Amino acid sequence: MTAGERVVAVIVTYNRRGLLEEALTAVTGQTRRPDVTVVVDNASTDGTRELLAARAAELEKVALEHNTGGAGGFAAGVARALELGADRIWLLDDDTVPEPGALAALLRVCDGAALVASRVVWTDGRAHPMNTPRPKPGASRAEQAAAQALGCVPIRSASFVSVLVDAAVVRERGLPIADYFLWNDDFEFTTRILRGRRGLLCPDSVVVHKTRTFGSTDADPGERFFYEVRNKVWLFTRSGGLAPAERVVYGGSTVRRWAKTFVRSSDRATLRRGLARGLAAGLRGGPRPNAEVLNRAGFPAARRAR
Summarize pLDDT for 46-76 with one digit per residue, the tens.
999 999 999 998 899 999 999 999 999 999 9
For residue 93, give the nearest of 47, 45, 30, 158 by alpha carbon: 158
Highest mean pLDDT among 124-138, 187-201, 290-304: 187-201
Tens-place pLDDT, residues 216-225: 655 678 899 9
Instruction: Please give the pLDDT value at position 1.
Output: 52
CA angle 17, 25, 66 (to 5 degrees): 35
Mean pLDDT of 22-43: 96
Tens-place pLDDT, residues 156-191: 999 999 999 999 999 999 999 999 999 999 999 999
Query: Which class for 177: exposed (0-12), middle (13-18), buried (19 or more C-beta within 10 A)?
Result: buried
Residue 305 phi, psi dihedral angles, 5° rounding: -90, 145
Instruction: Please give the pLDDT value at position 280.
Output: 97
Tell whether the model's pLDDT for residue 305 goes beyond 50.
Answer: no
Kindly report which listed range (15-19, 132-136, 155-159, 256-260) carries the lowest average pLDDT score: 132-136
CATH of region 7-216+286-304, choose from 3.40.50.1950, 3.40.50.300, 3.40.630.40, 3.90.550.60: 3.90.550.60
Mean pLDDT of 201-215: 88
Q: DSSP state, 6?
A: -
Instruction: Please give the pLDDT value at position 38.
Output: 97
Instruction: Please give the pLDDT value at position 216.
Output: 65
Distance CA 157, CA 47 (A): 34
Distance CA 20, CA 11 (A): 9
Instruction: Please give the pLDDT value at position 135.
Output: 86
Instruction: Please give the pLDDT value at position 2.
Output: 55
Mean pLDDT of 110-116: 96
Going from the C-alpha of 162 to that of each of 133, 289, 305, the distances in angstroms are 11, 25, 22
Reported confidence tier of residue 132, pLDDT bands at 50, 70, 90: confident
Tell whether the model's pLDDT for residue 204 goes beyond 60.
Answer: yes
What's the mean pLDDT when you consider all of the chain? Answer: 92
Contact between 135 and 156 (Cβ < 8 Å): yes
Tell whether the model's pLDDT for residue 303 goes beyond 80.
Answer: no
Tens-place pLDDT, residues 260-289: 999 988 899 999 999 999 999 999 999 999
Q: DSSP state, 127?
A: B
> What is the percent of the chain where pLDDT is above 70?
95
Kindly report which listed range (93-102, 137-146, 199-208) carries the lowest average pLDDT score: 137-146
Domain boundaries in the chain? 7-216+286-304
- Position with higher pLDDT, 2 vs 236: 236
